[in-house]
A = this chain, B = another copy of it.
Amino acid sequence: MTNRPLDRLDKRLLAQLQVDARLSFAELGRRVGLSTPATAERIRKLEEHGVLRGYRAELDSHSIGYPVTAFIRLYVPAESYPRVLAVIEGMPEIREAHHVTGEASFVLKAVAPSLIALETLISSFDSFGKTETSIVLSTRLAARGLPINP
């Protein structure tokens, strides 16, 4: 993973792909002033170097049966981390898990089909320590791409 510096063209390509990951190489090339093969090759290298980690369709969680989203803070002793992480790994409704500074050990982002299901999900961690949950009432800002300096 050599940390190649990104030039202006790379940054413009990345900025475009953050907005629409399905843009064709031809269209991307047109927008930045590059031929199709040159564009494809740059993107291949950005993937190879780990700058481009993947392309994800963004779904409406409500439409797929998950109207509830919540952030859960876990307070657990360090010796429980491996078991906690194993539990998290096996729960597909947990979409993110971060080890963080401060009192809490982990911050989780989870979805659930109902509040009862969320309650069940949270109780999976009862044996490890305390939890604190913030249920999302409304999302005011989401899926904003990373700012890219030109």
Q: Give chain A's interface residues, CB within 8 Å of chain B.
A: 3, 6, 11, 14, 17-22, 49-61, 63-66, 69, 71, 73, 85, 88-89, 92-102, 104, 106-107, 111, 132-149
Contacts and interface: CB of A to CB of B under 8 A. Distances in A.
Contacts of A138: 98-99
B54 A137 contact: no
A92 B147 contact: yes
B146 A61 contact: yes
Contacts of A55: 20-22, 55-58
Q: How many copies altogether?
A: 2
Q: Which 3 A-B pairs have the closest CB atoms?
A: A17-B57, A21-B55, A100-B134
A88 B53 contact: no
Contacts of A88: 140-141
A64 B85 contact: no
B136 A98 contact: yes
11 contacts: A14-B59, A21-B57, A22-B55, A52-B60, A89-B141, A92-B144, A96-B142, A97-B139, A98-B137, A99-B137, A102-B134
